[in-house]
Amino acid sequence: MDLLIQGGEVLDPGQGLRGRLDIAVSQGKITQMAPRIDPREAKRVVDVSGKVVAPGLIDLHAHVYAGVRTVGVNENCLMPDLAGVQSGVTTLVDPGSGGCYNFSGFTRFLVPTSRTRLFALVNIARHGLFGMPEITQRDDIDLEGAITCVEQNKPTVLGVKLRMAGPVLDVFGIEAARLAKRAARETHTKLMVHIGDSREERPQANRLTQQLLAEVLEPGDIVTHLCTHHAGGVMRQDGTVIPELRDAIKAGVVLDPAHGRFNFNFDIARRQLDQGVTPDTISTDIGLTNWRTTVHSMTETMSKFLAVGLSLEDVILRTTANPAKALGKVDTLGAIAVGREADVSVLEVVDGDWEFTDSSGARFKGTRAIVPVVTIRAGEVIAPDWGPHPWGWLPAPGPRGRS
């Protein structure tokens, strides 16, 4: 046995698994799980007593096409391992940082040099997010190019991305979503669509989101920025969710919140929960411009959803089994089981008086914070980075904690 993960509380809600279990790892794979495994047989023992042992966390929305965008020209991506294994996350999905004109560097340079497992979506905009707004004229969508790019970059690429925000709404209207859907359909992959027009709001945004949900998205497609407060979001003036969202939920469209600098509103997340609408996944939209200021980390984003009202099981499910399902990877990702690659996120839940900030600057309170303790990726033991705050991983202390 190469490694024994000893004494932790295994929490794998996707399999309904909760309890104190030791995990034995050999050659990168889980070989045994039992209440007690003899440590004398292990080359290395990692004692995680009192900690939560979750399947390797999956962030469905993280901008990590680092080193390719140039500083000064909207550099916006974080090194994959900083957002990944050094933050307690074993799998990241880059949602369209690259388009067909510049995507291949992701497969050639980032996938082989990252310890974090990487997937990506190809932006329907030919230059991806290398300059924003990414679609200002019809030539900015190259449908054939996008289809070829998705095919040539499988299995790293799992789908197509469209940001339904900005001038694309004027230039293409709903046709942009139909083109992106065509690229996804022809490549047998998923479509993820960003909603929420944060920079300069367009009056047609709300109508286009209704149309997107009612006419374009199919079961398994993903709508991202569920909790946005901007035009093009899923809330009506009276604070209730639009009926098109309920129909999309029934149809099996995946709801992803993707926090980001602009698109996580605590009040909206609460209202949605009150109305029985919960996100299927929890993701960060992390990038170089928001990790120290707004989003901070996957685990802090999870802590924010605890503050919204989800349980610990709820947030682990939405960062393990649920995103694995959304990616069509339930057989390999999002569970702790014998025979699988040993991807494990060891976490600590710290009680306290915490204060969080959402994308509109509103502050809200929480009593539990999740922080990364150690990440196991294919059997390799990896320590977390120092963390996004000057003091590390814990969120900001609330008024009582500050005194």
Of 285, 300, 341, 358, the residue at the interface with Zn ion (CB under 5 A) is: 285
Report the residue number whose CB is nearest to Zn ion: 285
C-beta closer to Zn ion: residue 127 or 340: 127
256 touches Zn ion (CB under 5 A): no
Query: What would you measure as the largest C-alpha separation in the chain, in angstroms?
Result: 67
| C-beta closer to Zn ion: residue 4 or 83 | 83
Q: Which stretch binds Zn ion (CB under 5 A): 178-186, 199-207, 215-223, 278-286?
A: 278-286
- DSSP strand pairing (157-163 vs 57-59): unpaired
Of the two residues 221 and 285, which places its CB atom closer to Zn ion in the complex? 285
- What are the tokens at 306? 């605890």
Extract the tokens encoding 187: 């490549």
CB of 186 to Zn ion, least distance (A): 24
C-beta of 387: minimal distance to Zn ion in Å? 22
The piece of 112-120, 227-235, 282-290, 367-375 that touches Zn ion (CB under 5 A) is 282-290
String marking each residue 113-152 x if it binds Zn ion according to CB under 5 A: ----------------------------------------
- For residue 348, state whether it binds Zn ion (rule: CB under 5 A): no
- H helices of 54-204, in order, are 80-83, 104-105, 143-152, 168-171, 175-186
59 is a site residue for Zn ion (CB under 5 A): no
CA distance 71 to 69: 7
CB of 386 to Zn ion, least distance (A): 24
3-state secondary structure of 68: coil
Residues in contact with Zn ion, counted by CB under 5 A, come to a total of 1
The CB-of-260 to Zn ion minimum distance in angstroms stands at 6
Q: Would you put residue 232 in left (φ > 0), alpha (ψ -120 to 50) or beta? A: left
Burial of 21 (0-12, 13-18, 19+ CB in 10 A): buried
Distance CA 120, CA 92 (A): 8
Residue where the block lists tokens 């290398």: 130
Find the shortest distance in angstroms from Cβ 307 to Zn ion. Answer: 22
Q: How far apart are CA 5 and CA 213, in angstroms?
A: 44
CA distance 234 to 236: 7
State the Cα–Cα distance between residues 266 and 282, nearest whole angstrom.
14
Stretch that binds Zn ion, among 203-211, 279-287, 368-376, 383-391 (CB under 5 A): 279-287
Q: Is 197 in the site for Zn ion (CB under 5 A)?
A: no
Q: How far is the CB of 208 from Zn ion (least distance, A)?
A: 18
The minimum distance between CB 233 and Zn ion, in angstroms, equals 15
Residues in contact with Zn ion by the rule CB under 5 A:
285
